[in-house]
């Protein structure tokens, strides 16, 4: 059974959420509802509570955030603490998405601090990593992924908790482009990622996801790849019927 994390980014509206939850509640035929805790939705900060209330009594689909502050409290205008997200009952939080790394200048060290804050509140981090097209073409993929994971691993070496940790490999050139990374590349990369975590005592709590143009047309191929336990889905997850197709096809 795969994990499916819908990353709604800044695509969704309150009306869209209402329609999505309405369709979810009417859906009794597919495997979709049976997925429960394996199906998760990352909403934007201001929509989390609306989504939470819309899902009440309708579905046990989990919900989460798309980023968080590394700070717990204090004079950090515009930032959102893990503690306040925990008050909303979030189950997970995406960190290190390439859009946050690129547009907000977030470094891998900062992302490791965010992970630390999440783990302290027992919220699952969904840590995104991925290389640019240029890095891919230069054969620098592994080096880049290692750089991004290094501060994460430094902290995880000392972590003894039991919180589930997700690592999502999302090649930047595959995000929102309709281009899915090559199967043979993905096989090698996931194989290597599994090897990289073997040294960690929390390895058993780590789950690997793939993200980047996951759709109902690409899912059948992607699910054949060893080492992928789930998917991070952007654009295609806004539409309930498309997301349902992705889940049902797996
Ligand atoms: P996409 O986005 O599915 O729209 O390519 C994935 C992501 O950025 O998490």
Ligand 1 nearest atom to the CA of residue 213, by list position = 5
pLDDT of residue 32: 61
Query: Rounded distance, CA 156 to CA 64, Å?
Result: 22
Q: Is 170 a catalytic residue?
A: yes
pLDDT of residue 47: 98
Catalytic residue among 22, 97, 109, 122: 97
Q: What are residue 128's phi and psi, to 5 degrees? A: -95, 140
Determine whether the shortest distance from the Cβ of 230 to ligand 1 is under 6 A.
no
pLDDT of residue 58: 86
Looking from the CA of 124 toward its CB, the CA atoms found within 13 Å total: 24
Query: Rounded distance, CA 59 to CA 36, Å?
Result: 8
pLDDT of residue 1: 86
Query: Rounded distance, CA 169 to CA 41, Å?
Result: 18
pTM over cut 0.85: yes
**Secondary structure class of 42 (helix, strand, coil):** strand
* Ligand 1 centroid from CA 52, angstroms: 22
pLDDT of residue 51: 98
User: CA end-to-end span of the chain, whole Å?
Assistant: 8
Please, is 23 exposed, middle or buried when counting C-beta atoms within 10 Å of its C-beta (0-12, 13-18, 19+)? middle
Q: Is 97 a catalytic residue?
A: yes
| Strands 3-7, 39-42: pairing kind | parallel
Give pLDDT tens digits for 9-28. Answer: 999 999 999 999 999 988 87
pLDDT of residue 182: 92
Q: What is the mean pLDDT of each run of 10 residues along the chain (250 residues)?
A: 95 97 82 68 98 92 96 97 98 98 97 98 98 97 97 96 98 95 95 95 96 96 94 96 86
Query: CA dist 242 to 170, 195, 227, 235, Å?
Result: 20, 34, 24, 10
């Amino acid at each position: 059974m795969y994990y499916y994390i819908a990353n709604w980014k800044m695509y969704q509206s309150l009306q869209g959420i209402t329609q999505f939850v309405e369709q979810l509640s009417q859906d009794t035929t597919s495997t979709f509802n049976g997925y429960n805790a394996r199906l998760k939705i990352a909403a934007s900060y201001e929509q989390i509570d609306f989504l939470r209330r819309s899902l009440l009594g309708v579905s046990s689909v989990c919900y989460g955030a798309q980023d968080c502050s590394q700070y717990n409290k204090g004079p950090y205008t515009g930032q959102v603490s893990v503690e306040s997200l925990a008050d909303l009952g979030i189950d997970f939080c995406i960190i290190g998405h390439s859009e946050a790394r690129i547009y907000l200048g977030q470094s891998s060290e900062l992302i490791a601090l965010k992970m630390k804050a999440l783990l302290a509140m027992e919220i699952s981090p969904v840590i995104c990593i991925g290389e640019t097209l240029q890095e891919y073409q230069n054969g620098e993929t592994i080096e880049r992924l290692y750089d991004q994971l290094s501060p994460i691993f430094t902290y995880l070496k000392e972590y003894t908790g039991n919180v589930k940790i997700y690592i999502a490999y999302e090649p930047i050139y595959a995000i929102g482009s309709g281009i899915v990374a090559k199967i043979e590349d993905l096989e090698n990369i996931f194989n290597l990622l599994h090897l990289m975590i073997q040294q960690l005592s929390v390895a058993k709590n780590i789950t690997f996801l793939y993200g980047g143009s996951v759709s109902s047309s690409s899912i059948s191929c992607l699910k054949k790849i060893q080492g992928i336990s789930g998917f991070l889905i952007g654009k295609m997850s806004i539409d309930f019927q498309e997301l349902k197709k992705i889940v049902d096809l797996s």
